[in-house]
Amino acid sequence: MTTLIDSTIQQHQACIDACNKCMQACEECLSSCLKEPDVQARTHCISMLRDCADICSMASQWMSRGSMFAKQFCEMCAMICEACATDCEKFQDAHCQECATYCRKCAEECRKMVA
């Protein structure tokens, strides 16, 4: 019997998980950036994190529903994740460095999903 979990694993589960993790990392990183003494230097990064969290969240939801636009959506998601990673990598604190790693991983899974 095919169950919910089975059918999804055969499809996009790795990408859904990567999007969920990246959304979480971006939201956490944004909140952490707001508490840093050099927040003034991070405003571009904060704007990027805001977009990246939103698009990862919606990508995860659209893959879950089997949207006919999931591939196009993930293509844009990959592009935004890469841009966000590049911004986060400029800051040496743990939350930005980790967030960049989650962003790169998510971009990679999105590209695999599109391929």
Is residue 54 near a second copy by the rule CB under 8 A?
yes
Is residue 34 near a second copy by the rule CB under 8 A?
yes
Assign 3-state DSSP to the chain and report helix, strand, coil percentages, each to 5: 85, 0, 15
Query: Cβ of residue 57: shortest distance to a second copy, in angstroms?
Result: 6
Residue 85 and residue 97: Cα distance in Å, rounded?
8
Is residue 69 near a second copy by the rule CB under 8 A?
yes
Within 8 A by CB and 6+ apart from 62, the residues are 69, 70, 73
Q: Which residue's entry shows tokens 């589960």? A: 13
Among 18, 53, 81, 85, binds a second copy (CB under 8 A): 53
Instruction: Kindly state the DSSP code that residue 53 receives in the 8-state scheme.
Output: H
Is residue 81 near a second copy by the rule CB under 8 A?
no
**Count, residues near a second copy per rule CB under 8 A:** 51
Query: Cβ of residue 107: shortest distance to a second copy, in angstroms?
Result: 14
Among 14, 18, 65, 106, binds a second copy (CB under 8 A): 65
